[in-house]
Amino acid sequence: MIEVQNLTKRYGAVPAVDNISFTAHPGQVTGFLGPNGAGKTTTMRMLTGYMPPTSGRALVAGYDVFEQSLEVRKRVGYLPENVPLYRDMTALGYLMYMGEIRGIPNRRDKAYEVLEQVKLADRANSRIRTLSKGMRQRVGLAQALLHDPEVLILDEPTIGLDPLQVLELRQLVRELGKNHTVLFSTHILSEAEQVCDSVVIIHRGTIVAQGSPSELRSTLERGGRVFVRTNAPAETALPRLQELAQVAQAETGLDGVIITPADPNADPRPAIARAVIENGWDLIELRPLAVNLEEIFLELTRAPETAAEAEPTPESEVVA
Amino acid sequence: MSAIFAVFKRELALYFRSPIAYAVAFAMLLFLGILFNGNLAQSVAFNVSVAQQGGGGVTASDLNLAPALITFLMFLIGPLLTMRLLAEESREGTIEVLMTLPMNEAQFIIGKFLAVWSYYTVLLLLTVVYHLILTLVGVPDAGVAFGAYLGAWLYGGAVLAVCMVWSAVTEDQIVAAFLSAATVLVLYLAEVAAVSLTSSPTLANAAGFVRELGLQAHFGATLANGIIRAEDIAYFVLMMIGALFITTRIVETRRWRA
């Protein structure tokens, strides 16, 4: 369980993380999603006790990350973004060292067990410098799993892996999510959609949306923007679509026309479809804009004044 | 406690696998060996002439040759042994994992310090061979030798702790080494500065203070000659504790700034 309440981190006057609140539940993978520099790593560093928050608080496994840092550290497994390892040690030696600092009693058995879990047991005695990027990532993950932590915090674990390794790692994270609290950061939206039970979207240090991937999608489908593609050239189609009473604004984008509805609670699609037919064009595509997380993300991180329009329901908390 | 021991064990093992540590040991033993040999030849010649006049034995100045030379060399040995210690952990980012383990900064720093001090102790013990050679050619004063070795051991610990501060300050090992060497030289030469202060009309009163700040004031005239004074031991021990405390604080504040 991770509970974050009004957490803020400032570097000087610059807020890296600004007043964020969210909860990650046990038995779930919570995706922490945002572009590079959104504040994901800073948040994770605060949750692992590496860095103290400027204000606000966070409870990890029931302990305050600032007041009871050592208790938190005993219960958290952390894989930092760049997977720092001692390159001159063997995979096994590294895990034994980490286990000794953590005071794990039967650390040799435990080290083999986690190496087995990340499918690296055959390279246990290889020096880390000789391992591939994907293998090093798995050594880092093994380190995070070594002490059976309640909470796993993985900072962009799939970055720099080849496609096959990415698939394996996602599979592993999903399995781990069944009996741990997993907080998993990524800037790849499709990844969050595949791996996570719930998603927190962070942008410029603030949370712009949170919920399950399907909740977020349905939220945005209602009253969100609509994408339409016809065989007519955009210059002809735009003014005609703009004339419709149900349309607040029509603009070109994504190889078609993006339409902002005049009334967020009414679906403009029937009117658009009629207009296309009446004008004698062929309708090729007509759908809500936000059908995948990429587009949900585009919707949520639009300029603040327009993003506010895409905020129809309370369960997706939009702070932008 | 187990965390200190874990860090200590890994670091000490690293010294025995590190080319720099062997290079330091080699250079030190070579330098000492040449000087010792020259000194011994001289002493033997002197003893022969003394014996011809009815005297005998090895002169006291030979007994602290190795420890005294090591304290002089500390401005090289200290930086070379410590520069990697913390700078590398910061540069490689491995400190980020360590600082999220259930271990506080002080345990981490103490483990590292004990490792480098232990390696230094091994270096120092290697030079005991010179003392053994002396026992073959004469009857050296064991008390003087003990005092000198105790002094060199504490002196080394203090220097290594001071050098660790710089390894914590910067991620760049070369910068850490140069700043450490400069600091140790300043502490080594405090006595010289004190002498020049004595001749100044306004600052003469500060001379004694500056002299006492220096490393040699607590070794050269006392411990090196077998005179064990509580104030000298307190100086070295306090310097170690002070430097380790500062190092711990620097590593802590790094997290707040990072």
- The neighbour count for residue A224, using CB atoms within 10 Å, is 24
Section A3-28 average pLDDT: 90
Is the same domain home to A134 and A234?
no
Chain A residues with CB under 8 Å of a chain B CB are 45, 48-52, 70, 73-74, 76, 78, 80, 82, 84-88, 97-98, 100-103, 143
Answer whether A102's CB lies under 8 Å from A76's CB.
no
Query: What are the residue ranges of helices labelled H in B127-221?
Result: 128-137, 142-169, 173-188, 190-198, 204-213
pLDDT of residue A312: 41
Q: Is the domain of A297 the same as that of A247?
A: yes
Kindly state the tokens that stand for A266: 């009414």
Model pLDDT for residues B177-190, shown as the tens digit of each residue: 999 999 999 999 99
The three-class DSSP label of residue B147 is: helix
Q: How far is A62 from chain B (nearest CA, A)?
A: 16
Instruction: Check residue A230 and give its pLDDT.
Output: 82
Q: Which of the pair, B22 or A37, is modelled with greater confidence?
A: B22
Q: Are residues A131 and A143 in the same domain?
A: yes
pLDDT for residue A84:
92
Question: A40-54, A80-94, B28-42, B150-164: lowest mean pLDDT where?
Answer: B28-42
Is pLDDT of A314 > 50? Answer: no
Give the pLDDT of residue B59. 54
Average pLDDT over residues A223-234: 78
User: Final residue of a domain: which of A217, A251, A282?
Assistant: A217
Query: Pick from A51, A70, A80: which is nearest to B97 by CB?
Result: A80
Give yes or no for a contact between A79 and A159, defined as CB atoms under 8 angstroms apart: no
Looking at CA atoms only, how far is residue B255 from chain A in angstroms? 5
Indicate if the pLDDT at residue B49 is higher than 90.
Answer: no
Residue B16 at interface with chain A, using a CB cutoff of 8 Å:
no
Q: Do A143 and B97 touch (CB under 8 A)?
A: yes
Over range B171-176, report the average pLDDT. Answer: 95
Does residue B99 belong to the interface with chain A, where contact is any CB pair within 8 Å? yes
| Range A51-69 average pLDDT | 91
Count: domains in chain A: 2
pLDDT bracket for residue B109 (50, 70, 90):
very high
Shared domain check, A232 and A207? no
Q: Across A142-204, where does the E strand assignment appear?
A: 151-155, 181-186, 198-203
* pLDDT (tens digit per residue) in A236-262: 777 777 777 777 777 777 777 888 777
Nearest CA in chain A to B18: A88
What average pLDDT is seen over chain B?
88
Last residue of a domain, one of A186, A217, A248: A217
- Identify the pLDDT of residue A12: 82
Q: What is the pLDDT confidence band of residue A320, given thresholds at 50, 70 and 90?
A: very low
Q: For residues B95 and B52, which has the higher predicted lDDT (pLDDT)?
A: B95
Q: Are both A114 and A200 inside the same structural domain?
A: yes
pLDDT of residue A290: 65
Contacts with A100 from chain B: Cβ below 8 Å? 2-3, 5-6, 9
Query: pTM value?
Result: 0.83
Question: Per the structure block, which two tokens stand in for A254?
Answer: 């994504």
Q: Which of A201, A217, A233 marks a domain boundary?
A: A217
Among A50, A73, A82, whose Cβ lies nearest the Cβ of B255? A50
Residue B105's Cβ-count burial label (10 Å; 0-12, 13-18, 19+) is buried
| Residue A303 in this model has a pLDDT that exceeds 70 | no
Average pLDDT over residues A36-52: 89
Compute the CA torsion angle A242, A246, A252, A254 (nearest 10 deg): -160
Q: In this predicted model, which residue has the larger pLDDT, A291 or B227? A: B227
Domain ranges of chain B: 2-257
Global ipTM: 0.85
Give the pLDDT of residue B56: 54
- A52 contact residues in B (CB cutoff 8 A): 255-256
Q: Which residues of B touch A148 (CB under 8 A)?
A: none
Does some domain include residue A317? no
Contact A299, A201 (CB under 8 A): no
Q: Are residues A129 and A236 in the same domain?
A: no
Instruction: Give pLDDT, residue B135.
Output: 82
Task: Identify any residues that bridge with A77 across adjacent strands, giving them in sequence order.
Answer: A152
- Clarify whether residues A201 and A286 are in a common domain: no
pLDDT of the residue at A299: 67
The CATH number covering residue A301 comes to 3.30.70.100
Is the per-residue pLDDT at A161 higher than 50? yes
Q: Confirm whether A8 is domain-assigned.
A: yes
Q: Do B6 and A50 touch (CB under 8 A)?
A: no
Among B9-18, B163-172, B192-201, where is mean pLDDT lowest? B192-201
Together in a domain, A73 and A165: yes
Cα A28 from Cα A108, distance rounded (Å): 29
Question: For residue A266, what pLDDT band results from cuts at 50, 70 and 90?
Answer: confident
A112 and A230 inside one domain: no
Q: Which domain holds residue A282?
A: 218-310
Report the relative pairing of strands A181-186 and A28-33 from DSSP bridges: parallel
Mark whether A113 and A236 lie in a shared domain. Answer: no
Domain of residue A6, CATH code: 3.40.50.300
Q: Residue A48: is its pLDDT beyond 60?
A: yes
Question: CA–CA separation, A45 vs A156, rounded Å?
Answer: 13
Could you tell me the end-to-end alpha-carbon distance of chain B, in angstroms, rounded to an integer?
Answer: 27
Between residues A217 and B199, which one has the greater pLDDT? B199
Based on the fold, state whether residues A222 and A204 are members of the same structural domain: no
The reply to whether A180 and A232 lie within a common domain is no
Output the DSSP codes for B95-134.
HHHHTTSS--HHHHHHHHHHHHHHHHHHHHHHTHHHHHHH
Domain for residue A77, yes or no? yes
